Structure 1
Amino acid sequence: MEFIAEHASTFVALAGTGVFAGLLAGLLGVGGGIVIVPVLFFLFQALGVSADSAMVIATATSLATIVPTSVSSIRAHHGKGNVDWPLLKQWAPFILIGVLMGSYLVTRVKGEWLSIMFGVIATLSAINMLIGRKDALFSGLPGRTGQGIMAGSIGLFSSMVGIGGGTLTVPTLTFCNYPAHRAVGTAAAVGLLISLPAAVTLLFAGASPQDAPVGTVGLVNLVGFICIVPLTVLFAPVGAALANRLDAGKLKKVFAIVLIITGVRMLAQSFV
């Protein structure tokens, strides 16, 4: 009880992260990682953790939280027939290679570089949300080699910045004239392929920094995981219900602006 009382504000902040991520996931269809990583990054720094340590722990913890939420999402999309299992089977080896490379790099590079990478990806994703491009850039998916490069890159960059499949997979597929609903469903499965091996690797192979927040094992903060996951799962359906009552398009643009500000702030902290 003394431990809980001493860290009450931290628990409340982590719980709030779970609620916020769940609501946005249901309301706007955005992956939890794009929300969880920056919140944890700034929260851990407020607790006295260095920026480098905060970023790697935020990345690993975010990946861990994506595992159970992606399982739930896969079930829902599979029930609607929106998961392209043949494509996933073809992409899986390349995604796993990218994830293993990315997880290794997370344990080796400075958190500053991960912050820069996240800032760039978040800003570009937000711009894509604001533009809302409907037409495809290409008539279809490339050949096996091109798809292997695409899948490997998605695994590499997603595992390095703590995001699931949606942020990179959905725009990549839709730019190749792939049906949007199938892209979202398949991205949920890609998220599990990314998050599970990455989280396990960073949990057991990562070395906890000396200034890691309480409850960190390897590079995963288990306190954050326990606080965030149940509330994300609980509030995602609430967000989905709100989406039917609110103008999700306008809310998505507001979120995109907030995401741009967050991405730019992370970039500024790395360079200034």
Structure 2
Amino acid sequence: MSIFASIPVDELASLGVGLVFAGVITGVLAGLFGVGGGAVIVPVLASLFEHLDMAEGFEMQLAVGTSLAIIMPTSVRSLQAHRARGGVDMAVLKAWAPGIFVGCVVGAAAASYVRSDWLKLIFAVFMLLMAGRLLFAKASWTIADDLPGRAGMLGYGLFIGIISSLMGIGGGTYGSLIMTLHNRPMLQAISTSAGLGALISIPGTLSFIVAGWPHQAELPPLSLGFVSLIGILLMAPIATLVAPLGVRLAHGLSKRALETSFGLFLALVSARFFYDFLT
């Protein structure tokens, strides 16, 4: 059975154009803000699955799992571009890695038991908190002069892994927040956090495939658990191709311009998900 069997040609054409456009935006955001693009991919795909009446009751899980799969190549491309400009602190990524791996597995397991509406609410709340921090915080708003030791970094990694896998994002949002709160420069925080997408997306994607496998009969054709193959094929190549454009933009902006633009973007995403939750 084909995923296109019951979709009119005009809807299919609109879907293709929409996914191409979303892929371009995703790639630019991945490079510009050091995020894997999940903050764009998840609402786009969740709305798409709802509009086409696919995966009823599991729209958000399918969107999150697919997002994690899509951000794999995008995040790797973004990380490579930032490393080429010398902005990535690899020691931070290595310290976060063990906690992130465990957190991704835990988050994916939890997502299979949470209603789609509540996943939307979690997404909206955390995005709003991030937006407030970026738009209204002052440079003096830090909690320490530098990042903590091994135990603290393990805890941060666990937090990033759980939240990111629940929300289908690459973790750059929270990685950037943690680093700036620990007195690291904004550009270094964004550049380093670009690497979180690769650390999160691989175990996260595999975990969502496993978590969704018992519900395979309720999911759209061409799905592997909570991962839509058609979403990957249409969005991932374009997002990967344009990610370096966002990197060039990031290195040409001031610290405050980066913070303000990122904050406004997150506030818009949060408002959209609050609206979906309440309607």
1:221 is matched with 228
Separation in 1 of the partners of 2:160 and 2:133?
A: 17
User: Corresponding residue for 1:49?
Assistant: 54
2:168 aligned with 1:162, yes or no?
Answer: yes
Aligned equivalents of 2:109 and 2:257: distance in 1? 39
- Rounded Cα–Cα distance in structure 2 between residues aligned with 1:233 and 1:271: 34
Which of the numbers 190, 201, 204 marks the counterpart of 2:207? 201
Higher mean C-alpha displacement, 219-228 vs 79-88? 79-88
**8 Å Cα contact 1:26/1:236 also seen in 2:** yes
In the alignment, what sits opposite 2:177?
171
Does 1:142 find its partner at 2:148? yes
1:11 alignment counterpart: 16
Are the equivalent residues in 2 in contact too, given 1:51–1:112 (CA < 8 A)? Answer: no
Contact 2:160 2:174 in 1 (8 A): yes
1:28/1:158 Cα in 2 relative to 1: closer, same or farther (>3 Å)? closer
Tell me the alpha carbon deviations over residues 100-134 of structure 1, each in whole angstroms, 9 at most, x when there is no partner: 10111122222222111101112122223322543
**Matching residue of 1:89:** 94
Using the TM superposition, name which of 56-65 and 34-43 deviates more.
34-43
Tell me how far apart the structure 1 counterparts of residues 230 and 247 of structure 2 sit (CA, whole Å).
27
Counterpart Cα distance in 2 of 1:23 and 1:15: 13
Displacement, 1:237? 3.2
Asked if 1 retains the 8 angstrom alpha-carbon contact of 2:55 and 2:220, the reply is no
Deviates more, 1:15-24 or 1:79-88: 79-88
Work out the CA distance in 2 between the residues paired with 1:91 and 1:242. 27
Q: Distance in 2 between matches of 1:199 and 1:258?
A: 25
The more displaced of 244-253 and 221-230 is 244-253
Cα RMSD after superposing both structures: 3.0
Corresponding position: 1:234 with 2:241: yes
Residue identity matched to 1:215: L
- SS of 2:58's equivalent in the other structure is helix
Q: Which residue of 2 aligns with 1:109?
A: 114
**1:254/1:143 Cα in 2 relative to 1: closer, same or farther (>3 Å)?**
closer
Match of 1:152 in 2: 158
- State the alpha-carbon separation in 2 of the partners of residues 240 and 34 from structure 1: 17
Aligned equivalents of 1:270, 1:5: Cα separation in 2: 28
Code of the residue aligned with 1:129 in structure 2: it is: L
Residues 27 and 143 of structure 1, relative CA distance in 2, 3 Å threshold = closer
Which blocks of at least 5 consecutive residues in structure 2 are unaligned? none
Q: Which runs of 5+ in 1 are unaligned?
A: none
Instruction: State which of 245, 266, 269 in structure 1 corresponds to 2:273.
Output: 266
Tell me the distance in 2 between the aligned counterparts of 1:56 and 1:165: 17
CA distance in structure 1 between the partners assigned to 2:80 and 2:30 by the alignment = 15
Q: For residue 58 of structure 1, what is the aligned residue in structure 2?
A: 63
Structure 1 residues 161, 32: CA separation in 2 closer, same or farther (over 3 Å shift)? same
Count how many residue pairs are aligned between Structure 1 and Structure 2.
272
- 2:103–2:161 Cα contact (<8 Å) kept: yes
The structure-2 alpha-carbon separation of the partners of 1:20 and 1:214, relative to structure 1 and needing over 3 Å to count, comes to: farther
